[in-house]
A = this chain, B = another copy of it.
Amino acid sequence: MAESDQAKWVEALRGAGLRLTRQRLAMVECFADDVSHPTAQALHARLCARFPGISVATVYNTLSALTAIGACRKLELGGASRFDPNVTPHDHAVCDDCGRVRDVQRARRAAATVPGFEVHRVERVFRGLCAQCARAARV
């Protein structure tokens, strides 16, 4: 899974006419199989371990390139933007307490329509407490 995802990304980059720089390859390695929905800053911090000196601008630049070609999604959930390498249709659960974001499989359902609006995407966010924080809150 991990390898194929990374290969898919390399293909996507090449297919979009984007250069396979060492920084981008490092990002693919660090991010392609990430399920933590990191912020750009968090990803940059993590990358610095693997690629000392990589610039924040490069991280932002590559993330928006990946988003533009549909290889990842940008999530706006409040605070800093988060990025999700999983582009299959799914929803998100955000813990009010610890802030962690979890993927939630989307139930099969007829495509939503809104009168007078051309719907391209539907995003759904569940807010509340993750199991761990809910348990802690009951103590």
Listed in ascending order, the chain A residues whose CB lies under 8 Å from chain B are 74, 76-79, 81, 93, 95-96, 102, 104, 112, 114, 116-131, 134
Contacts and interface: CB of A to CB of B under 8 A. Distances in A.
Copies in the complex: 2
A60 B130 CA distance: 29
B120 A123 contact: no
B128 A102 contact: no
Nearest to A91: B114
Given A76-B76, A76-B77, A114-B93, A122 B124 contact: yes
Contacts of A119: 93, 126-128
Interface centre among A76, A95, A117, A130 (most CB of B within 10 A): A117
